[in-house]
Amino acid sequence: MFFFTRKLSHSKLVQLYGVCIQRKPLYIVTEFMENGCLLNYLRENKGKLRKEMLLSVCQDICEGMEYLERNGYIHRDLAARNCLVSSTCIVKISDFGMTRYVLDDEYVSSFGAKFPIKWSPPEVFLFNKYSSKSDVWSFGVLMWEVFTEGKMPFENKSNLQVVEAISEGFRLYRPHLAPMSIYEVMYSCWHEKPEGRPTFAELLRAVTEIAETW
């Protein structure tokens, strides 16, 4: 993680300041984000956040992911639990423990490696293939988390049931706080084939256009 986060610098990524490795336990010094984990923030403020704020959260994360995509990095664990919220409610991407730099936008993980099933597209749980387009799928699930104010995706399904459902074409429902324009963006992230999904640059344009009309 140290190698990757020292090389990455963007206003929507949590900044790493240093690592103390002289003795155990290791200490990692990062930017302090006063409002903590996004998932907890959404749940603790349920019913208090306007739709404009929820969209702003998605826009912040999309900006950070567009930067990673543009620079050849795959996050591989994008979810609300891995984003942090500042005192001014700016949201930044954190937890780069699974992040990889790739030259051809594809990374094949070793079989048996753990990954978050409920945030993962078919090519990950079937073939362990990661790309910026697998991050796009996860971003769609993250948007769903945001507009449900922190619900667990596929909350009544086991991991095996999720794999079966996704393989059969099942997708997450539209949250009641999400207008159809937002759900269409989410849904576009869940195309069965990676090449059928938008890039983060395209997602950022779409989210920004929606924000400008609200």
Active-site residues: which are they?
77
SS3 call for 107: strand
152 CB burial (10 A radius; 0-12, 13-18, 19+): exposed
C-beta separation of 31 from 14 below 8 A: yes
CA atoms of 13 and 67, how far apart (whole Å)? 9
> Could you say which DSSP state residue 148 is in?
T
188: tokens are: 């576009």
